[in-house]
Amino acid sequence: MEILGQEFAFSFTDVDDLARYEAAREKLAAVDTQTGAPAQIIRRECAGIRDFVTDLFGEGAYESLCSNPSDYKRNLEILFAVGDAYQAAAAEMEKMQANMKKRLAKYTVGSRRT
């Protein structure tokens, strides 16, 4: 998978990778974005995105995407790039599932043509 010009050994169609994404997303959602001064909130969000990327792609992945960990704009670009990749993969998986159901219907009882 390519994120902002960097290639990572990751695929949303791999169930293990998808499970890792879901766990990382839940961890990111738990970051406190409500309490504290704005700078504190943004710093926690950036740290959460760093952890999200590291959990997803492994050690060093975040550093390859972001040279300045306190750059909020860059952190959001990374997060949205991963989110966009997920949305594209989800649409592709829906097509794959529909095709699988259509193909399997040929082999189920009651669907035989005479």
In the chain, the DSSP E strands lie at 2-3, 6-7
Whether 65 is in a domain gets the answer yes
Structural domain of residue 6, as residue ranges? 2-105
Q: pLDDT by residue (tens digit) across 20-30? A: 999 999 999 99
Q: What's residue 114's pLDDT?
A: 47
* Total domains present in the chain: 1
Whether 55 is in a domain gets the answer yes
Q: Which among 99, 92, 79 is positioned nearest to 13, based on CA atoms?
A: 92
Residue type, 12: F
Q: What's residue 28's pLDDT?
A: 97
Q: What's residue 76's pLDDT?
A: 98
pTM of the model: 0.83
Whether 112 is in a domain gets the answer no
Whether 53 is in a domain gets the answer yes
Whether 101 is in a domain gets the answer yes
Whether 76 is in a domain gets the answer yes
Q: What's residue 113's pLDDT?
A: 55
Please list the ranges in the chain whose pLDDT falls under 50: 114
Q: What's residue 34's pLDDT?
A: 94
Q: What's residue 15's pLDDT?
A: 93
Phi, psi (deg, nearest 5) at residue 7: -95, 135
Whether 111 is in a domain gets the answer no
Whether 37 is in a domain gets the answer yes
